[in-house]
Structure 1
Amino acid sequence: MNVRDPFNLHRRSALSILKSTATRTAIGVTERAVEVGFQAIEKSKQAVEDLDMSFTVPKNVPSFANPQRVVEDRIWGNSAVTSRAGAGTRATSASAHTNAGILAGVQGRVGGFFDNKHALPMYKDKPYAYPLSQRIKPVWRKKRFLGFVLVLFSLLYYFGAFQKGSQTDTAERPLWGWLKQDSAGRGAKFDWNRRRDMVVDAFTLSWDAYERYAWGYDEYHPVSKKGKQMIAKGLGWIIVDALDTMILMNLTSRVSHAREWMATSLTYDQDQDVNTFETTIRMLGGLLSAHYLSNEYPTLAPLADDDPGAAGEDLYLEKAKDLADRLVAAFDSPSGVPYASVNLAKFEGIPAHDEGGASSTAEATSLQLEFKYLAKLTGEKYFWDKAEKVMQVVDDNGAQDGLLPIYIYATDGKFRGQNIRLGSRGDSYYEYLIKQYLQTSKQEPIYLEMWDEALRGVRKHLVTYTEPSRFTIVGEKPSGLSGKLSPKMDHLVCFLPGTIALGATKGLTEADARKLPTWTEKEEADMKLARELMHTCWGMYKWTATGLAAEITYFNIADPPLPESAPHQAPAEFDEDPAAEWRKDYDVHSNDVHNLQRPETVESLFYMWRITEDIKYREWGWEMFKSFLKYAEVEENGDFTSLSNANIIPPVLRDNMESFWLAETLKYFYLLFSPNDLLPLDKVVFNTEAHAFPIFQMGQLFSTGWERKPRDTEGKIIA
């Protein structure tokens, strides 16, 4: 198709397409603007002809009918429109669309695309969806007439000027259009692939804004449009963490750009201290997951650079090995428990600067999935041995009922204090118990035993019920198991319902797991607890004005707290009435109303949907996703940020986008709305940053190198 062809189309044909109410609403373009555009094109026709340029379609166009490429088959720039319209109740939405419709938005984006000398051709994936951050100039003042012509061609092609056959109703295509369709209620048959596409739109808005304003920086501040490094040359904190999400979403050109930056700019040879845990789960985990996905799913975001035999075939693994060689120095402590930090260039572990130098228990015990998988890939057993030794040292403390204090000294391997919780500094220890068992194909029953013991301890000491509605919660014991129960739940605790369900079925669906002889009353009770906690976590979202949960929620409970065996039945539905009785059970303090775009609840919704196949968990996730679209948007950019106050409308924005928004939250939304055979739970385990690793056989090289000491009924070691 030659770029000059659109000149031969009659302007009335174009205007007739644009005149329908739905179309005019969707694209916000007046007839006068189109007329003026045609006049401008007529005047510049000769200049364009002199360029003698053509828009050549490549021979090897990807198959857009392939389900794995469905994310690439959407109209240009729909994200910019939909993110604003998704706000629904915002008074500014209508004016935003009127002033910056699809036609104007795409024109600006196409112009920006040609300015980007490093971008790939448009057929790889759609042009970068940069939201316009300034007022749109009248089209007759634009210098890029060629860009306008291409836009016009694209619009006419999209609305059917060059093809026959039925077209999807234009009102359904923009994000705002099908958000309005979500009124049929629970149980209706929705196209979950389309909803998944909207998650991709949200991701590309955030990613493209980061790429535009803060490329290569470790931090991105969407409101101020600035980036910041965590260490001198950066760690690729956002780029590496989001890499496997982009591979799953088949965002080829973005993966290529990220890979190019990693190959040319990313170095770990820096005289800088970094957090051992965060760097392991985000950076090492991200690299290992990208390596796995690029090999296991070669048709997703395919790049010649990592094809077998190519020079960059092992880029992700090579970077992972280099980083791990530096991080493993943290394990060189007297006890084997890793230091809280490590100096990358000096290969030196560094004690924590607070808590008397003690490391976080969760951080010390949530490195095992990463180092074990790396050991399996490289055959270098010392990675395995270093990570596994930690589990023995921790377990040799003989913590009562499998519940651990949240600090541990790297010097002697003993716990500091008695604070016990499944929120911050405690959470992922428990998560990694069951996942270590699953990662090695259930060949290490020691970790299943530890998981079962810990879950019994949670039931015995931390589970209680709220008043007056009897929601199930998991509290904290700041002064030890003999101390008072605090009715406090970090949002982080909402990883637990999904993990409990995973432990009960071992990655199978509940229906299939029930058929096995291993299914007992224990698994039945575990699934019941998982459902109840999932309900409570969803209530955290229903309680706030924005529908986005606070960072910490307290609950009203009896004194003394009701035991886990007490009768209880929470309301099945959350009454929307502000004075509803169930709201009395929840108590959010003014210092805790911020929302950091955290993933734990949608993570558990993903597990609960895959395992129970109950559609309500998908529907809850969809409702949550819409709340992010409505209230976490930065209107100047069209991307998303965290909130300082999620309990007022409009919310107070917090000028920061955590890397886990891209690495975890949106990935779990994407998987929640995807077919269940994408990363099936009996084939992969996700680390605590949502990076996917394969389940593997240990083979002859690896083994569980330790045994538990005998214990009494409370889990205490028998002398």
Structure 2
Amino acid sequence: MNAWFYSRDLPLYKDKPYFQPRRTRRGTGRGWRTVLIVVAGLITITFLYASCGSSTSQSPIREWPDGDLGEELYRWMLSLEDNDKGKQTQAVDWEERRQRVKDVFIVSWDNYEKYGWGYDEFKPISKTGRQMSEGSIPGGMIVGALDTAMVMNLSSRVQSARRWVRNSLRFDQLHKVSTSEATTRILGGLLSAHYLSTTYPDLAPIKDDDPGAPGEDLYIEKATDLANQLLGAFDTPTGVPYPSVNLATAEGIPSAEALAAEAASLQLEFKYLARLTGEPEYWQVVERVMKVVGEAQQQDGLLPMYISPLKGDYREKSIRWSASWAKSYYESLIKQYLQTSEQEPVYNDMWEEALRDVRKHLVAHSRKARLTVLGELPTGLSEVLLPKMDHRVCFLPGTIALAATKGAPLREARKSAAWTAEKEEDMVLAQELMKTCWAMYLATDTGLAPDTTHFHLEENDQSRPVGPTASKPFEEADSSWRDDIDIHSQDVHNLQRPEAVESLLYLYRITGNEMYRDWGWQMFTAFVKHTAVVEQPPLKATARGKVVGFSEMPSRIVSFSSLSNVNTLPPVPRDSMEICWMTETLKYFYLLFSDREFLPLEETVFNMEAHPFPRFELRGDLKTEWERKPR
């Protein structure tokens, strides 16, 4: 790592140095006020205890707090099951449904804050937390879910997270972290929190965010601190970053290969940071990566899995859209183009080339229902297609629609002079793939998709999807489509993933078709019914400690867990609330049930971890400075 990275002067942000020490003036009477508050609190507790009394015949029964949200959610969950049995229908209140998503988030957050605060994996049944991997940054779940709490206007939760970021989030003691996770999850979360708190000040307002407040620049300062340490990962012969970085020394950890998709999906965060700070280096390091990836020999526009940070060449031939971040490369192409207000056409060209070759090499159809399947080529383009779709592939329907219309409503996009027959076909492909993802949910006993689904294909099927999307995916009376689906025993787990919900959000906002909201609601209620962690009521006991039964208090939902098997009822929980649950999945559900004008797609780009960034115009040194060679 060059010493220049350490010694250079950083530009000023809002006329302040990034790391200027701050001193907060405190009122002279604050200490006495604190003492009085504590004394008053003790008096209140003593009074309450005396009021409750302590009977000599029976010990007090521990009860849920008044108006307990977990209890309310539990009763609502039971009503869902009753409605399913009776097939009751009533007018849809999307505001009420959005509130239910917020309730689920609050219960999830509060239990995590109580038992797993600071960890990036939480076990809600055993009530413990741990770090997900050696390369994780502590507090990844807090930083990741911070902007979800903002979007849901939960000021007290935002205040708790912000306090943790200010007091506990440090990078100089971490010796090995994942470059990609640190960028997309932590850097992305901090930048998104800055964006929301400054652009939408009425969302979860707190005084620390106010202009001129001592903590006004907290998020951008922490983000810059992290980015400067991450720059060491890019200090390679090619500029392709090492997959891991020592944040304590700001040095990349040498490796002969890196996941190509990881290296090529760090652009949104560094480009937005460059725009905020005016520091071109953040832009240039990720731009250099795209140049190497774009000029290296690809297979018909499709990205192989591994690339060498030392030589810039690809290490193998396998083509997997779903495997370990591979999808993020393609997602990043079109989102880079949209982030800079369509001023970098090279990335749109790369996206369109990739999508054309997806049609050519990876799209097939199932045997009976002609479900559109996006398969894999584990050993290269010359081999037979493997008809396997990970749930992560379900990002693609929404991303295709987003690329076709640039986030505008479909009816308006069709009026544009840029609308073509190919874009119309893209919309059909997007809707057909969404239908397949929906089938992955419907095919299980819980109504929740397995992590991977295999399909039985038509023989010698080389046709492209044609025809409009049906108003309903499948007829209840005809279940023959289920024969097209093959779920292997090792793939039956569900990790609370967000990709299908993200695509539903894009497709609903672009097409205006309420069907996608309805599918999302069915997914959401399936999550509530089958992944809820329910706590039983406390036991009654006499003064001698003899248990005489349960109290009359009802059960309550305290959290939600991923599942080991989506094809068993009742399902088996994994005792893990995945990091994506609060950071991504619930955020996308909330936005799906919100008005279209809330964080509109025409103004917003979501990164790979669902963190919203603004679109902006290019200016100064922040621009594309490379061109693809003729292919």
Q: Aligning the two structures, in what range does the TM-score lie when normalised by the shorter sequence?
A: 0.7 to 0.9
* Secondary structure of the corresponding residue to residue 616 of structure 1: helix
Equivalence for 1:335 = 238
Is the CA contact 2:443–2:482 (under 8 Å) kept in the aligned structure 1?
Answer: yes
In structure 1, how many angstroms separate the alpha carbons of the residues matched to 2:129 and 2:465?
51
In structure 2, how many angstroms separate the alpha carbons of the residues matched to 1:440 and 1:45?
59
In structure 2, how many angstroms separate the alpha carbons of the residues matched to 1:85 and 1:46?
33
Is the CA contact 1:550–1:588 (under 8 Å) kept in the aligned structure 2?
Answer: yes
Equivalence for 1:191 = 93
Is the CA contact 2:428–2:466 (under 8 Å) kept in the aligned structure 1?
Answer: no
- 1:681 and 2:601 equivalent? yes
Is the CA contact 1:245–1:667 (under 8 Å) kept in the aligned structure 2?
Answer: yes
In structure 1, how many angstroms separate the alpha carbons of the residues matched to 2:441 and 2:213?
47
**Structure 1 residues 568 and 511, CA gap change in structure 2 (3 angstroms):** closer
In structure 2, which of residues 213, 237, 240 is the aligned counterpart of residue 310 of structure 1? 213
* TM-score (normalised: structure 1): 0.73
Residue 635 of structure 1 deviates from its aligned partner by 1.3
Residue 270 of structure 1 deviates from its aligned partner by 1.1
- 1:405 and 2:396 equivalent? no
- 1:280 and 2:271 equivalent? no
Letter aligned with residue 450 of structure 1:
M
Residue 516 of structure 1 deviates from its aligned partner by 0.8
Residue 46 of structure 1 deviates from its aligned partner by 12
In structure 1, which of residues 458, 478, 481 is the aligned counterpart of residue 381 of structure 2? 481
**Structure 1 residues 597 and 407, CA gap change in structure 2 (3 angstroms):** same
Equivalence for 1:265 = 168
Aligned pairs for 1:592-603 (under 5 A) are: 592-603=491-502
* Secondary structure of the corresponding residue to residue 433 of structure 2: helix
**Structure 1 residues 539 and 266, CA gap change in structure 2 (3 angstroms):** same
Residue 80 of structure 1 deviates from its aligned partner by 3.0
Aligned pairs for 1:455-470 (under 5 A) are: 455-470=355-370
- 1:635 and 2:534 equivalent? yes
Instruction: Tell me which stretches of 4 or more aligned residues in structure 1 moved more than 6 Å.
Output: 44-49, 178-182, 565-571
In structure 1, how many angstroms separate the alpha carbons of the residues matched to 2:79 and 2:510?
33
Residue 436 of structure 1 deviates from its aligned partner by 0.5
Aligned pairs for 1:541-560 (under 5 A) are: 541-560=441-460
Residue 572 of structure 1 deviates from its aligned partner by 4.1
* Secondary structure of the corresponding residue to residue 597 of structure 1: coil
In structure 2, how many angstroms separate the alpha carbons of the residues matched to 1:296 and 1:179?
42
In structure 2, which of residues 612, 615, 627 is the aligned counterpart of residue 695 of structure 1? 615
In structure 2, how many angstroms separate the alpha carbons of the residues matched to 1:261 and 1:339?
29
Is the CA contact 1:83–1:630 (under 8 Å) kept in the aligned structure 2?
Answer: no
Larger mean Cα displacement after TM superposition, 398-407 or 228-237: 228-237
Residue 235 of structure 1 deviates from its aligned partner by 2.3
Aligned pairs for 1:369-384 (under 5 A) are: 369-384=268-283
Is the CA contact 1:469–1:569 (under 8 Å) kept in the aligned structure 2?
Answer: no
Is the CA contact 2:101–2:589 (under 8 Å) kept in the aligned structure 1?
Answer: yes
Give CA-to-partner distance per residue, 1:480-502, whole Å, 9 cap, x none: 11111000001000000000000
**Structure 1 residues 365 and 83, CA gap change in structure 2 (3 angstroms):** farther
Residue 76 of structure 1 deviates from its aligned partner by 3.5
- 1:441 and 2:341 equivalent? yes
Higher relative contact order (CA 8 A, sep 6+): 2
RMSD: 2.3
Residue 231 of structure 1 deviates from its aligned partner by 5.9
Aligned-pair identity in percent equals 55
* Secondary structure of the corresponding residue to residue 82 of structure 1: helix
In structure 1, how many angstroms separate the alpha carbons of the residues matched to 2:48 and 2:579?
46
**Structure 1 residues 586 and 88, CA gap change in structure 2 (3 angstroms):** farther
Give CA-to-partner distance per residue, 1:639-680, whole Å, 9 cap, x none: 101001011111111111121110110000000000111110
**Structure 1 residues 313 and 89, CA gap change in structure 2 (3 angstroms):** closer
**Structure 1 residues 576 and 545, CA gap change in structure 2 (3 angstroms):** farther
In structure 2, how many angstroms separate the alpha carbons of the residues matched to 1:391 and 1:245?
30
* Secondary structure of the corresponding residue to residue 464 of structure 1: strand
* Secondary structure of the corresponding residue to residue 634 of structure 1: strand
Equivalence for 2:197 = 294
| Number of matched pairs | 549
Equivalence for 1:127 = none
Equivalence for 1:251 = 154
- 1:217 and 2:91 equivalent? no
Is the CA contact 2:122–2:576 (under 8 Å) kept in the aligned structure 1?
Answer: yes
Residue 459 of structure 1 deviates from its aligned partner by 0.4
Equivalence for 2:317 = 418
**Structure 1 residues 180 and 558, CA gap change in structure 2 (3 angstroms):** closer
Is the CA contact 1:643–1:651 (under 8 Å) kept in the aligned structure 2?
Answer: yes
* TM-score (normalised: structure 2): 0.83
**Structure 1 residues 446 and 83, CA gap change in structure 2 (3 angstroms):** farther
In structure 2, which of residues 622, 625, 629 is the aligned counterpart of residue 705 of structure 1? 625
Is the CA contact 2:304–2:318 (under 8 Å) kept in the aligned structure 1?
Answer: yes
Residue 79 of structure 1 deviates from its aligned partner by 3.9
Letter aligned with residue 436 of structure 2:
T
Aligned pairs for 1:575-590 (under 5 A) are: 575-576=475-476, 580-590=479-489
Residue 595 of structure 1 deviates from its aligned partner by 0.2
Structure 1's unaligned 5+ residue stretches are 1-43, 50-74, 91-175, 712-719
In structure 2, how many angstroms separate the alpha carbons of the residues matched to 1:453 and 1:261?
44
In structure 2, which of residues 565, 582, 598 is the aligned counterpart of residue 662 of structure 1? 582
* Secondary structure of the corresponding residue to residue 402 of structure 1: coil
In structure 1, how many angstroms separate the alpha carbons of the residues matched to 2:137 and 2:118?
7
In structure 2, how many angstroms separate the alpha carbons of the residues matched to 1:440 and 1:46?
61
In structure 2, how many angstroms separate the alpha carbons of the residues matched to 1:659 and 1:270?
22
Is the CA contact 2:140–2:186 (under 8 Å) kept in the aligned structure 1?
Answer: yes
Aligned pairs for 1:17-56 (under 5 A) are: none
